[in-house]
């Protein structure tokens, strides 16, 4: 699957049904040797599109449960770390 195929999908947490963001609004972390995606980093925005400092959410590739037509379901437990 290519990154462009993932674009504009909504990311939803399986644990509590919370919307974590849109994939088009994320940064990605890549493995430098293989080029594979390791994690998505979702910035947390407040009102008017201003970014909150230090409140990014990191979704590791291993936490992705299902990639559907419109959304990505992740299993991000409350003990998962934020960046």
- DSSP, residue by residue, 21-73: EEGGG-EEEE-TTT--EEEEEEPPB-GGGPBPTT--EEEEGGGEEEE-SSEEE
**CATH 2.30.30.240 assigned to 3-74:** yes
How far is residue 41's CA from residue 57's CA, in Å, rounded to a whole number?
A: 6
The reply to whether the predicted model has a pTM over 0.75 is no
How far is residue 9's CA from residue 67's CA, in Å, rounded to a whole number?
A: 9
Determine contact, residues 63/77, Cβ cutoff 8 Å. Answer: no
- Structural domain boundaries of the chain? 3-74
13-62: pLDDT as tens digits: 999 998 887 877 678 899 999 988 899 888 766 555 555 555 678 889 99
């Amino acid at each position: 699957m290519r990154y462009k195929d993932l674009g504009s999908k909504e990311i939803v947490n399986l644990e509590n049904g919370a919307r974590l963001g849109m994939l088009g609004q994320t940064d990605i972390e890549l493995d430098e040797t293989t080029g594979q995606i390791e994690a998505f980093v979702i910035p947390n925005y407040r009102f008017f599109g201003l970014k909150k400092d230090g409140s990014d959410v990191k979704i590791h590739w291993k936490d992705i449960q299902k990639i559907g037509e419109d959304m990505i379901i992740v299993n991000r437990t409350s003990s998962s770390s934020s960046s």
